[in-house]
Chains A and B, each alone.
Chain A
Amino acid sequence: MAFNTLLFVGFLAMVVVGYFAWPRQRQWLLAVANAVFYGFAGLPHLALFLGFSWLTYRCSRARGRHWLWLGIIANLINLAFFKYLAFILRSLTAAWPLPSLAAAGSWAAEVALPIGISFYTFQMVAYLADVLRGEIEPSQSWLEFWIFIAFFAQLIAGPIMRGRQLLHQVRSVGQVRWDPQRQELGLMLLLSGLAKKMIIADTLAPIVGRLYADAATLSGGQAWLAAWLFGFQIYYDFSAYSDIALGIGRLVGIRVARNFATPYVSANPREFWRRWHITLSSWIRDYIYIPLGGSRHGFARSLVAILAAMALSGLWHGANWTFALWGVYHGLLVVGHRVWTRLVPAVPKLDWLARILMFQLVTLGWVLFRVTDLETATALLTRMLSPGSSGWWSGVGWAGAAACGGLYAMHWAEHWALGARSRLLRLWRAFPAIIQGAGWAIAVILLLAFTRPEASSFIYFRF
């Protein structure tokens, strides 16, 4: 069930009404809501998810660390089977003269990826690892664990919540009181997320699609335009989901972690990863980078750990070498930045220049993320980085450039608004009721106008 559908709006309304009408039944209500929400993706996938959540719960409760390791390994095998089997077989048969095991039509190629599997697997692995490290107590009941692991607000595309962030909130849902100001904030976040998705990302999607469909003929300038627009499309798509998750959380009195903090204002790669998909970045840090040694074994080894962690982060996004390369590219940016700051500690302060440069470096990376083969990526990147070549500017209209400029300005405006959100909220609440009422009515009409005959999927659903 996608957030940007009227079906979901009706579903959410029923959950919220039931939640506050029957406070003693909230855990059951959320548990059923989670199952219904995920069940729309298909009953076999729901059964798989229920099975692995039960297994994870049992492993976390069993005596002995080997059960926790078994749970982690089982979850990773589950993810590997559904997400990476065809990719592994394809790569093997490409490297060695083996019979093609993942050709189109073969059973391996036909394995359907359960929606949200990457997110819920990482959440379960984090939970087991935290229990293993003694950082959290195992969940007290399977009901509580199911609500934590399958909370419908963040199930399909994150944020990836940790046990210490969510479990205690699940235990105390019965104490949540109706708070008009919190509900209003929740609605604001929900509507702003829907607006990001339905008005901005879904408008950019066909334009970006059209540009990349003609990738072979794009000029260097057009390739930049396509990459910028895709950068904004993916940001507004993914951060929309996260805003909606935050909003739903507020509506039911559960705090969900923020996943985005206007990443395109970042001045360096480390800052970018503190602003982009924040919960994945921290997951990679805590469960890959630090176990690989982190910074405990010297500078050089830490750089290797960064590269390995970022490559895995890239592969988490999709079973394709382009994603791995995207991860490695970002790893190299982080490594390069660390080496640079170590060699040149006193860099002249040109903050705005660094931010613009960083945005362009991130944009180059989006080419690897968007295309599906290395040949196209190489051709586009070569054209983008050859501004002296003839015809480089051809096909770049002022409208496309203005759109990119406008979207970047909007991103900065969001950055400012996030910083000033308390003041803005006070200002909004100081307006007369008629202005506020008109604002809500216009927002709802706008969103109704942007519903589609068939709801578009969120980009990160495929991960």
Chain B
Amino acid sequence: MWLTALIIFVAAQFALVTAAPLALVHHYRVPYEIVKDDLRNIDLAMATVQNFIQRQAIDDYVIILGDSVGYSGPGGPEQAVSRYLADIAASAGGPAVFNFSLPGAQIGDIYVLMLKLQEHGLNPDWLIINLLYAGFVARVPDPPPVFWLRDELARLDQAADLVTAPAYPPEERTQTAAERVETTIIEWGQRYIPALAYRDYLRAALLGPAMTYAQAEGSTPVPWYEKPWLDSYLRQPEYLRGYDPAPMVMDDGNPNVFFLKRIAAQAAPDTHVLFFNSPVNPVLLADLQRTDGYQANLRAIDQLMLELHRSYARVDYVNYTRAIADPLFVDHLHLTPEGYAQLAAMLWDEIGMVR
């Protein structure tokens, strides 16, 4: 009996590595709730997507990288821009779409995600990356330019880490002796026991609705005009800072500029990179958008991206800041499902123009 148990256990591990279904790790996007608690899960998702692409012999695919806009918060995966883009692509016989965006991701995280894609052999035809005006605003010192994947930046591009790290010393991590030993055991186990490596995804698949309820994800997004408190909420300093009209520093001293150049330079040679400046709510942020400083900064961003396009032919850029009407926003930045559907249609047009 014990030998049978061992054989079945080993066989299950083998099956998990070779035939894990895509839906286990990626359902229109990688699940933030799973990735945020253990960033190793992003590697597992990439490995599984790569495995899926090989098994299905897919040779034409798009990958979206970005922050909460790329991720398409606050809606569920079925309301994500990647879902709508996948639907349009499927109806046109076009590429498969994968989304590795992470809420809270900064430009440095997006750069690391791109390097990780390459590490996993994922070289899409199109890499779509969302940018934010706030990303170019001076960091004083927060938010750090690499929020999630600092350790991975040091591993994958030490030079970039050395440039950006001094202003952001790593957080002190205090662990008890038991926690240190436990972490070591789990890290070892995750390397050799797939059931342990996939544990967060397996648990989510098994628990399903209970987990969704506990995490309050996937609730129906409410448009911004149904939230009377939102206007005053967004006038708090931490939000206003993201739309600071003060002139932006547009040289390599700005982490966004530094990492954008790095992304453009290090993207795989046969990958088109489409950056889009994310839409903003034209009514909720009307006062700010009318300021000369804001407009000048937007022009500076456009100019930077134009220069990148001139330097790297595979890099394209489109400015969507005023592209979506206010009823399709849930706040100043994030969209309703209809808003994400419109964004997907616009992105499809961009891809189509170049295809």
Report A's interface with B, CB cutoff 8 A. Answer: 1, 5-7, 10, 40, 42, 203, 206-207, 210, 399, 403, 433-434, 436-442, 444-446, 448-451, 453-455
Q: Out of B5, B176, B196, B206, which one reaches A437, CB within 8 Å?
A: B5
- Residues of B within 8 Å of A6, CB to CB, are 182, 185-186, 189
Is B199 touching A433 in the complex (CB atoms < 8 A)? no
Residues of B within 8 A of A (CB): 1-9, 12, 37-38, 176-179, 181-182, 185-186, 189, 193, 195-196, 198-199, 202-203, 206-207, 209-211, 213-216
List 7 additional A-B contacts (Cβ < 8 Å) besides A437-B2, A446-B206, A449-B195. Answer: A5-B178, A6-B182, A7-B181, A40-B177, A437-B5, A440-B1, A445-B195
B4 interface neighbour in A207, A210, A437, Cβ under 8 Å: A437
Q: A450-B199, A454-B179 are in contact. Are A437 and B1 (CB under 8 A)?
A: yes
**Shortest Cβ-Cβ A-B pairs, 9 listed:** A437-B4, A449-B202, A206-B214, A437-B5, A441-B8, A440-B5, A441-B9, A40-B178, A433-B1
Instruction: Determine whether the beta carbon of A449 is less than 8 Å from that of B206.
Output: yes
Chain B residue at minimal CB-CB distance from A2:
B178
Chain B residues, Cβ within 8 Å of A206? 214-215
Docked CA distance A399–B212 (Å):
12
Task: Give the residue name and chain of the B residue nearest to A450 (CB).
Answer: B203
Q: Are A399 and B213 in contact (CB under 8 A)?
A: yes
Q: For the complex formed, measure the closest distance between the CB of A38 and the CB atoms of chain B, giving whole angstroms.
A: 11
Interface of A is mostly: helix
Q: How far is the CB of A396 from chain B (nearest CB, A)?
A: 13
Q: Report the minimal beta-carbon distance from B103 to chain A, rounded to whole angstroms.
A: 19
Beta-carbon contact of B5 and A207 below 8 Å: no
Q: Report the Cα distance A444→B206, complex, angstroms.
A: 15
Q: Is the CB of B195 within 8 A of A448?
A: yes
17 contacts between A and B (CB under 8 A): A5-B182, A6-B182, A6-B186, A7-B178, A7-B185, A207-B214, A210-B213, A210-B214, A437-B5, A438-B5, A439-B5, A440-B5, A442-B8, A445-B9, A448-B196, A450-B203, A451-B186
Q: Find the B residue at minimum CB distance from A436.
A: B1
Instruction: Give A204's nearest chain B residue, CB to CB.
Output: B210
Contact of B9 (CB < 8 Å), options: A207, A444, A455: A444
Are B182 and A449 in contact, with the CB atoms below 8 A? no
- Closest B residue by C-beta to A207: B214
Contact A1 B5 (CB under 8 A): no
B213 to chain A, nearest CB (A): 6
Cα distance A448–B199 in the bound complex, in angstroms? 6
Q: Do A433 and B214 touch across chains, with their CB atoms under 8 A apart?
A: no
Contacts of B7 in A (CB 8 A): 437
Interfacial chain B residues near A455, Cβ < 8 Å: 182
Most buried by B among A42, A441, A450: A441
Cβ-closest chain A residue relative to B214:
A206
- Nearest-neighbour CB distance to chain A for B11, whole angstroms, equals 8
Closest chain-B Cβ to A282's Cβ sits at a distance in Å of 32
B151 to chain A, nearest CB (A): 15
Query: Which residues of the other chain, A, contact B1 by a CB distance below 8 angstroms?
Result: 433, 436-437, 440
